[in-house]
Structure 1
Amino acid sequence: MATKKVKVLCDSKSLIEDVHKWGAMKQMGVSLRCMLDFGSVSSQRNMIIAAQFLHRELPIRIARRAIELHSLPYGLSHKPAVLQVRDWYLDSFRDLRSFPEIKNINDEREFTQMIKLIKVRHNNVVPTMALGVQQLKKSLDQKLDYEGLDEIHQFLDRFYMSRIGIRMLIGQHVAIHDPNQPPNCIGYIHAKMSPIQVAKDASEDARSVCFREYGSAPDVNIYGDPSFTFPYVPTHLHMMVFELVKNSLRAVQERFMESDKPTPPICIIVADGEEDVTIKVSDEGGGIARSGLPRIFTYLYSTAHDPVYERLDVGSTGVVTMAGYGYGLPISRLYARYSGGDLQIISMEGYGTDAYLHLSRLGDSQEPLP
């Protein structure tokens, strides 16, 4: 029994040493354009090359996050939920490092099945980390201002940006193997995505949530060229527009719930620029106080009074109570920035809010690697 315990400790020490070794290696970013061009030639050689790249790249990215999860300020690393997330990252690192060198198409197929399981393992990372942060928030001195938690916010930005990249790389590789891909889709990327159509679908989903929560929902009017398309990741755009419209619906619904005035619609405008595709989501939900604007992109702040069901993760089938955790806007901004875009919020207290979602249409910006 004692011998077995010593072996476990040795194995654990060896694993941690390997994690630190790989965490010190340089990451290699890729662009949407590169993923699109490489994935459009579906040859066995390309599949093997892609798998070999992931076999080296994924352990580096996962190791970096595992190291950070071990040394977070304010005792966040010791919260049970965060320890659970760290275990998932260590398990995935171990699986990747245990997989032998990829030499042929059979190795590639086995590797693809393995990383598919890794992606599933990490499905609940967002709500689990949210739980850990909420546990931290409850344990902190209530007088501690949010600016004093900059380290936590910066870590979460790095952590979630890295997670977006990891899931994009895995999801892209796995999806390319799908024989039933929709037309014009190369893995996760749609070569001719209609932002108008995605905005319509996301708005209907958000209105369904609003109906379920309040019994009614404001209209959403969408303006733009329905024939316009550009290469992008539809699931990413859907998530961002869903979040923005859901926030607007909630603000308008709560402001006009007891009013005799007609409920104003949410307006979405899609503009096709040479550099960016910009989507503006406007509402008359009363706006955000100027003092609150600096905090809307932090992870410990939310204007939500009641929990609203929101999508857990791009590609997942479940929903989870997330409004009130303050995660929707900062994570949406990370998705926009991952592909070279951005998200800006301009508000008029007493009237409403405009959200500007900028999407880079060039598709050649490298991943921002934390």
Structure 2
Amino acid sequence: MSSLLGVSALLRLPPSVRARAYAAAATPALDPSSTATLPPPWRPANVLDEWVSREARPISLRQLTFFGRTLTEDRLISSANYVRLELPTRIAHRLRNMQTLPYSAVTNQHISHVYELYYNAFERFRKVPEIRSLEDNDRFCDVIKMTLNEHLSVIPRLAMGILEIQGSVSGEECDRFMTTLLRSRISRRVIAEQHLALTETFHSPWHFPNAKKLPSAEDDFVGEIFLKCNAKELIEKCANTARQLCSQAYGPDVAIPEIVVQGHLDTTFPYIPSHLEYILGELIRNSIQAMIEQRGFKQPPPIEVLICEAAQHVIIRISDQGGGIDRQVLPYLWSFAKGPRRNHRLRNLGQVPRLAATMEDIKPLPQEIDRSGGPSGDKFGNSLASLSGRPPDLKLGMGLPMSKIYAEYWAGTLEIHSLEGYGCDAFLQISRLGNRNEVVSTRAAMDAV
């Protein structure tokens, strides 16, 4: 009977019945090859109910920019209290989503690991008292940094869990669950890292009134938001990184395609550079690898990138001649859970214990922050750009679906058109005004259990 229950339902059973269910669940965990573990420990559900009853409050890039542009002590403390309440609210909704999974899915060792991390973070944040001073804020920032670092294992463990629970949860439901959790995770990291960056700015020597400083790229940053993201510069930066990685992986004798950037080359817009670097890095990497694997040692034609600036959007098209996408893979292009390479993806994910997305465990990357073009290292436990630093043969099967989530997060879009036997065109559309709210799941799938 317990295998048919969700965790929340199980936790409401009488203690004697719950004890028998826990004992039954413990049996398969004795098998070292089993992916099942004991369910998360019992906790009172009414604590979570209180936070699930609250709505998340979505924000836009423009709001974040306006709020942080003129930074005062009162505004910093106000930001801290917004984050203090928003983080446990958003985590509570995702915990409730996990509680609605079948019992056999939540006892998967990877899903259970993520659940425990989320619940510990929820408990930690909900107990933070109101922020009233700069000293209170500094202590709160230490809590945020510690939590961001602890959660580096969430993405790979979640991805492995989704691949392993296919027997009890449909692929479609797994994809919805994964998309909801990742979108919410992005939203939490955005507001947390933005507050950390504002705190860092406030404590900077040049922030004080009448402080003398030379003009620099720092002036164009409001927290983590770069007001003058230049599409051409970001594309070239990602292209150089991807070409270097592929050259190292395939050897000096393999010809690496050039990247030709055309169109509106002076286009700038407000954005979080690490988000855009991640998307562009994945798309360009895929194009380079496809062309190398199709053409081998022959000199390939260039990959063409076109920047198109419209009144409200910037559209970036990446065109390659890498032969298109395998017909077996094409139907599952945006899926985390479905597709023909499940076992291969599981093996590769097992090599990535921590992912922010960050790949410092696989390929050491510079730790400095390059403010001229966005983060190049690991800041606040998060460097999306470094995800592109993994070896080309370490295919995780989540680069494109994650890129789509990042593109849609600020109300953009990502589409890929495959021309079988010829190549692919990827279209990335970005809202250039920054006035669209984050796209985040604001309610749990089931508000009360």
Q: Do structure 1's residue 267 and structure 2's residue 304 form an aligned pair? A: yes
- Larger Cα Rg: Structure 1 or Structure 2? 2
Aligned match of 1:362 in 427, 433, 448?
Answer: 433
Kept in 2: contact 1:287–1:347 (CA 8 A): yes
Q: Do structure 1's residue 79 and structure 2's residue 108 form an aligned pair? A: yes
Aligned match of 2:318 in 281, 291, 308?
Answer: 281
Q: Residue 231 of structure 1: SS of its match in structure 2? A: strand
Q: How does 1:48-59 map to 2 (within 5 A)?
A: 48-59=77-88
Q: Residue 346 of structure 1: SS of its match in structure 2? A: strand
Please name the residue that 1:149 is paired with: 171
Q: CA deviation at 1:15?
A: 5.1
Q: Do structure 1's residue 211 and structure 2's residue 247 form an aligned pair? A: yes
Q: Distance in 1 between matches of 2:104 and 2:98?
A: 11
Q: CA deviation at 1:188?
A: 1.1
Q: CA deviation at 1:346?
A: 0.8
Q: CA deviation at 1:225?
A: 3.8
Kept in 2: contact 1:301–1:325 (CA 8 A): no
Q: Do structure 1's residue 95 and structure 2's residue 129 form an aligned pair? A: no
Please give the root-mean-square deviation of Cα atoms over the aligned residues, in Å.
2.7
Q: CA offsets, 1:95-134, max 9 Å, x none?
A: 1012112222221221122112211221221112122223
Q: CA deviation at 1:78?
A: 1.8
Q: CA deviation at 1:84?
A: 1.0
1:45 partner amino acid: D
Q: CA deviation at 1:290?
A: 5.8
Kept in 1: contact 2:257–2:299 (CA 8 A): no
Q: Decide whether aligned partners of structure 1 residues 73 and 256 sit closer, same or farther in structure 2, where only a CA change above 3 A counts.
A: farther
Q: Distance in 2 between matches of 1:59 and 1:13?
A: 19
Q: Distance in 2 between matches of 1:184 and 1:236?
A: 17
Q: Distance in 2 between matches of 1:72 and 1:208?
A: 43
Q: Distance in 2 between matches of 1:149 and 1:35?
A: 36
> Quick check: 200-209 or 233-242, which moved more?
200-209
Q: Distance in 2 between matches of 1:13 and 1:21?
A: 17
2:287 partner amino acid: S
Kept in 2: contact 1:231–1:361 (CA 8 A): yes
Q: How does 1:297-312 map to 2 (within 5 A)?
A: 297-301=334-338
Q: CA deviation at 1:224?
A: 3.4
Aligned match of 2:331 in 265, 271, 294?
Answer: 294
Please name the residue that 1:313 is paired with: 357
Please name the residue that 2:404 is paired with: 333
Aligned match of 1:349 in 410, 420, 429?
Answer: 420
Q: Decide whether aligned partners of structure 1 residues 130 and 112 sit closer, same or farther in structure 2, where only a CA change above 3 A counts.
A: same
Please name the residue that 1:8 is paired with: none
> Quick check: 175-184 or 165-174, which moved more?
175-184
Matched residues, number: 350
Q: Distance in 2 between matches of 1:218 and 1:149?
A: 36
> Quick check: 75-84 or 355-364, which moved more?
75-84
Q: Do structure 1's residue 248 and structure 2's residue 270 form an aligned pair? A: no
Please name the residue that 1:193 is paired with: 229
Q: Distance in 1 between matches of 2:118 and 2:138?
A: 22
Q: Residue 274 of structure 1: SS of its match in structure 2? A: coil
Unmatched runs of 5 consecutive residues or more in structure 1: 1-11
Kept in 2: contact 1:276–1:360 (CA 8 A): yes
Select the structure with the greater relative contact order (CA < 8 A; seq sep ≥ 6): 2
Aligned match of 1:171 in 193, 196, 199?
Answer: 193
Aligned match of 2:98 in 69, 85, 92?
Answer: 69
Q: CA deviation at 1:79?
A: 1.5
Q: CA offsets, 1:2-27, max 9 Å, x none?
A: xxxxxxxxxx6555431232123111
Kept in 2: contact 1:284–1:351 (CA 8 A): yes
Instruction: Give the TM-score taking structure 1 as reference length.
Output: 0.86
Q: Residue 222 of structure 1: SS of its match in structure 2? A: strand
Q: CA offsets, 1:301-358, max 9 Å, x none?
A: 5688896999851633676579533211111111111111010111100100000000
